[in-house]
Structure 1
Amino acid sequence: MRAKPPLGGLPTREGVSPSCVSLPAGTWLTITDFLVQRFPAISRELWLTRMANDEVIDEFGERVTAARPYRGHMRLYYYRSLPAETLIPFDEELLFQDDHLVVVDKPHFLPVTPSGHYLQETLLVRLKNRLGIPGLSPLHRIDRETAGLVVFSVRPQERAAYQDLFRQRTVDKRYEAIAPWRAELTFPRVRRSRIAEGQPFFRQAEVDGPPNSETLIELLETRGPLARYGLSPITGKKHQLRVHMFSLGLPIMNDRVYPPLDPTPEDDYRYPLQLLAQSIAFDDPFTGERRQFSSKRRLTLP
């Protein structure tokens, strides 16, 4: 019997793990027909090329061919590919590595994980290629536009225990931001609100309802019309810090999304979002020690 290959069918390639899609019950004649309908941005010709190169495999390790009949309730694994990927001209800095964790200082504009137009130019894939750790996985995320600390788990079997720390809100995270100063606002203050998906889908918005987000905001220093703030998120909703600051009339400097602009401006490397994941601390569930890390990057008032 053919042995089941790693990762459900395909090994990591150039730092990229295979993507997975589940086949639902359906009446497609072939698996190719399903894939073309499921992923309209990917041409039939590209799927056929992937299949010819043995880059589409089922969960049992069997290759998928162009004419293979459709069968639901099964998983497929395949490699994503991009015809052209923009080089992100900024480097991450490795701050710490042991048998359990990798801690990295991420630059602005670099995504943490593959998505959309980014594959090789992501922090995760760069680190897999650099460190040779195929099972590396981020324990949390920060926005592509945000710089600062990202912590990765080295051993897949330990990932859940570390992620539980974030779910249980026992991780102390601190950010810094440059934003307008409003003399009528007093600090420190706590912002609590309900955040939900807005329009378009990538924007979040405060809406009516019970709060599901909370941020402690402190004033660190002022200079003219601007100030440097310390932000401590108690919860971890998408874009939480950016939404809370904007809702207070304090949009973070160089934010292209809050306030909303239509169309959203393209990246301009001269004007990075002035938001930094500055420090993180937690009790390690495996070593028992207190883990504390700080970014070497700095935000300075102009």
Structure 2
Amino acid sequence: MRDGVSASRTWLPKSGSSKNATEVYGSWETILEFLVERFPFISEDIFRDRLKRGDIVNESGTPYRADSPYVAESFLFYYREIPGEPTIPFTETVLYKDSDIIVVDKPHFIPVTPTGRYVKESLLSRLKHRFQLEDISPIHRLDRETAGVMLFSCSKEVRAGYQSLFQNRQVSKTYEAIAPRSTLDFPYTHRSRMVKGDPFFRMQESDGEANSETLMDILETKGELARYLLKPVSGKQHQLRVHMASIGCPILNDPFYPELLPSKDDDYSQPLQLLAKSIEFVDPVSGELRRFESQLSLEF
């Protein structure tokens, strides 16, 4: 692990052809030749630089050089790196930590796991680096655009127990959102069938048996806006964002719903007004009732 980034690995296949020539494996004299062919979207100069820095190693941790011979049927380890990775100018707050879990108050714009342009800046990499624990793992999902309470496990031994809480709907979660004021009667329950949309990272509602459910209420109003309390019963991707858009009250500053807006890249001026406010569950290790609440607030 380097700077909170765990090593990724790639299998080095046989070189040449099988005796009956029915299987062609490829032919590489050096590790550099293999890397350039295996990852054509990365330039040779970048690989030469990484090899020079010792960032690509063999199974025993010995760094490869640009002229290191290709060693078939072994693993090569490397550290994922994004040239010019942007720095996200927000800092997470650790609400609680023990030997089993870490509870974090995540700001808007920080992805939970490495994705796209962000590796070291992901919340997972930050926590691994901060606590020097490679086994830290997220227990549930939270969109990059969403702020609030996020739960991580500290070891492989306890991870499954915490994951089962979410799989079996034994976790009570509350969210807050700022959106246009609705004329519906509240409290209100929204149920629908959610499926993958277009593009692939969006969700949409369709006909058929409902597979998602959200309990909604209004906490307060101010002019044309309202602060909503949202309690998801199910845990579909983008569920709260889709359900709010479906009732005609899209969450303020949502770049995906009801319409996909052009990317604003590093513009942090309009965060999605959605906050994972609290999380409550019976700890599967200690048996204690746990409740954690975000210290963040929305713009209202």
Q: TM-score range by the shorter chain?
A: 0.7 to 0.9
Structure 1 residue aligned with 2:138: 138
TM-score (norm 1): 0.84
Tell me the amino acid that sits aligned with residue 131 of structure 1. F
Report the Cα distance in structure 2 between the residues aligned to 1:269 and 1:52, rounded to whole angstroms: 36
CA distance in 1, matches of 2:295, 2:101: 18
Deviates more, 1:51-60 or 1:252-261: 51-60
User: Deviation string for 1:151-198 (max 9, x for gaps)?
Assistant: 111122111111111111111111110001121x12222222222222
Match of 2:285 in 1: 286
After superposition, the CA RMSD in angstroms is 2.6
Counterpart of 1:41 in structure 2 is 41
CA distance in 2, matches of 1:77, 1:198: 36
The number of residue pairs the alignment matches comes to 287
Give 1:105 shift: 0.7
* Residue 246, structure 1, aligned to residue 245, structure 2: yes
In 2, Cα distance between the equivalents of 1:106 and 1:246?
A: 24
Partner SS state of residue 158, structure 1: helix
Describe how 1:73-84 pairs up with structure 2 within 5 A: 76-84=76-84
Looking at structure 1, the residues matched to 3 and 160 of structure 2 have their Cα atoms a distance apart, in angstroms, of: 25
Aligned identity (percent) is 51
- Paired with 1:207 and 1:62, the residues of 2 have a C-alpha distance of 53
Instruction: State how far apart, in whole Å, the 2-side matches of 1:26 and 1:147 are.
Output: 50
Identify which of 26, 44, 53 aligns with 1:28.
Answer: 26
Distance 1:280 1:271 in 2: 25
How far, CA to CA, are the matches of 2:226 and 2:12 in structure 1?
Answer: 52
The partner residue of 2:70 within 51, 57, 68 is 68
| Alpha-carbon separation, structure 1, partners of 2:39 and 2:247 | 40
1:10-25 equivalences under 5 Å are 12-21=1-10
Kindly indicate whether the alpha-carbon contact (under 8 Å) linking 1:102 and 1:153 is maintained by their aligned counterparts in 2: yes
Contact 2:212 2:233 in 1 (8 A): yes
- Is contact 2:273-2:299 (8 Å) kept? no
Q: Distance in 1 between matches of 2:62 and 2:160?
A: 30
Which residue identity lines up with residue 203 of structure 2 in the other structure?
Answer: Q
What TM-score, normalized to structure 2?
0.85
CA deviation map 1:71-116 (0-9, x unaligned): 5xx7653211121121111111111111111111111111111111
Unmatched runs of 5 consecutive residues or more in structure 1: 1-11
Q: How does 1:49-60 map to 2 (within 5 A)?
A: 49-51=49-51, 53-57=53-57
**Residues 242 and 65 of structure 1, relative CA distance in 2, 3 Å threshold:** same
SS in 2 for 1:27: strand
User: Which residue of structure 1 lines up, in the alignment, with residue 232 of structure 2?
Assistant: 233
Q: Is the 8 A contact 1:149 1:294 kept in 2?
A: yes
